[in-house]
Structure formats: C-alpha cells, structure tokens
Amino acid sequence: MLELKNISFEVSDEKGTKEIIKDLNLKIDDGKFVVITGPNGSGKSTTAKIIAGIEQPVSGSIYLDGKDITNKTITERANAGISFAFQQPVRFKGITVLDLLKLASKKQLTPAEAGKYLEMVGLRAKDYIRREVNSSLSGGELKRIEIATVLARETKLSIFDEPEAGIDLWSFQNLIQVFKHMRETTKGSILIISHQERILEIADEIILLSDGTVVKQGTKEEILPELLKKANEKTALNKPA
C-alpha cells in the first residue's frame, strides 16, 4: 500500500513562492487500478513525481508498505518497487528495444522472453525487438514500448503520467486495450494521471484533485457520474447561443 500524509510542495522564482500541493493525503491499496484526475494546474503530475521521487515535498511523509520512503532517491524507490512512465518517453539512440527490456527487467532476457512483453502491449516482437529506441519510432510505439518495460520490471506500483499525451487516436485506442489487459493481469497497483473519460472508465478508484489537494476519492461508480455531469454542464455553457 502507498500512503501520502500531509504532503506539501512549492516552487520559487523571482516572483515569489507558489504552493502547488497543499496538505495532500491519499492512500492506494495493493492491486488497484487508480486514476488521479482534475483540472489543469491541480497538481496531478506533481503528485506523481513526488511519489516517484522526481520531486521532493517540503513537508509531509510518504509510505510504501508501511516503510517511510520520503527521503529515498528515485533509484531507491525504483528498487523498492515503484515505476514511472513519463508523458513523453525518452528516446535512446544506439539502444535497442531488447537492450531496454533487459535493463528494465534486470535479467538477461532472451529475444523470445523479451518478445512476450512486446506482445502484451500489442507489438509484434519480430518487428521491434532489434530496433533502436530512437526517432524512427512514433509516439504511440514509444508509449507501448515504455509500458512493456514497466511490465518487465514487475513492480509493486506502476505510475503513468498522462499516457495519452502526444499520440494519435488510433494509438490511444490501442493504449486503452493495453491498460485493460494490465488491469486484468498485473499483480501490482497501477496509478494513471489522466482526464480522459475512457481511462477513467476502467479505473477501480478515482482520485479528484483541485488546487493541490484531494477533493474526493472513491470508486469509479461513486466519482465518475458526477465528473461527467459537470463536464457536460460546462460544455453546454460554452456552446454558442
């Protein structure tokens, strides 16, 4: 289980200090598919980065399976069982997909073993296993390869920061199928940062953020109807007379 207690985070520049996360509390139970959503600027991606160790809170505590990981580095958290997938996957010139999957799994995978992870994300192994992770790959292909590396790691908590960003509709539709498959087969917890309805629809739980704090957390059945109602009302108000 992951637990965040009284987390706060702020940034400073020449204009002063701005609080991004404000006394945030949340829990993610084992084996859950959870989506954090909310308006732009609500602190969704910052919360994900704080969990992964990319950003450090100014106050509060983070616990993984009851152990305090607040001051742990990104590497230490990764070793403890936390994976993080960025909005824009990193390209690695000179590194093949097979190399990347070996690094992720920390095993000497055979091409056949690595290929199974690619098949799980809808990619034909023989078409990708020897390709470099470079600009020759589309955004959708990179996203699915990154998810394959997360699967290869078999971590306790897999975090995806707005996975729909920068991909076309066809790739997004395939991405939904990949997440559905992960939800059914992955033993660990999955945390996705998203405002896309189709991703919210496959969640076990939804966490709604606003102004850097948790407004609501509950099951999809409890949270989603209200979110959709508000979204429809906003669309109706914005329609020209």
> How far is the C-alpha of 132 from the C-alpha of 122, rounded, in Å?
18
pLDDT on residue 113: 94
Number of domains in the chain: 1
**pLDDT tens per residue across span 150-209:** 889 888 999 999 988 877 777 788 888 888 888 888 888 999 999 999 999 999 999 999
- pLDDT band per the 50, 70, 90 thresholds, residue 238: low
66 CB-side CA count, 13 A: 0
Helix or strand (DSSP H, E) at 70: none
pLDDT average, residue stretch 38-45: 93
**pLDDT tens per residue across span 95-154:** 999 999 999 998 999 999 999 999 888 899 999 999 999 888 988 888 889 889 988 988
Beta-ladder partners of 34:
191, 205
Determine contact, residues 154/121, Cβ cutoff 8 Å: no
Q: Which amino acid is at 237?
A: L
pLDDT on residue 27: 95
CATH number at residue 180: 3.40.50.300
Determine contact, residues 130/97, Cβ cutoff 8 Å: yes
pLDDT on residue 66: 94
Determine contact, residues 239/69, Cβ cutoff 8 Å: no
pLDDT on residue 211: 94
**pLDDT tens per residue across span 57-101:** 999 999 999 999 999 999 999 999 999 988 777 788 889 999 999
Lowest mean pLDDT among 169-173, 206-210, 228-232, 235-239: 235-239
pTM of the model: 0.88
pLDDT on residue 235: 66
Helix or strand (DSSP H, E) at 230: helix 220-238
Question: 154 lies in which domain range?
Answer: 2-238
Beta-ladder partners of 35:
192, 206
> How far is the C-alpha of 154 from the C-alpha of 136, rounded, in Å?
27
87 CB-side CA count, 13 A: 10
Structural tokens at position 109: 């995978």
Determine contact, residues 203/35, Cβ cutoff 8 Å: yes
- pLDDT band per the 50, 70, 90 thresholds, residue 240: low
pLDDT on residue 76: 96
Closest Cα partner for 216 from 25, 16, 30, 3? 25
pLDDT on residue 98: 95
DSSP one-letter string for 181-202: HHHHH-SSEEEEE---HHHHTT
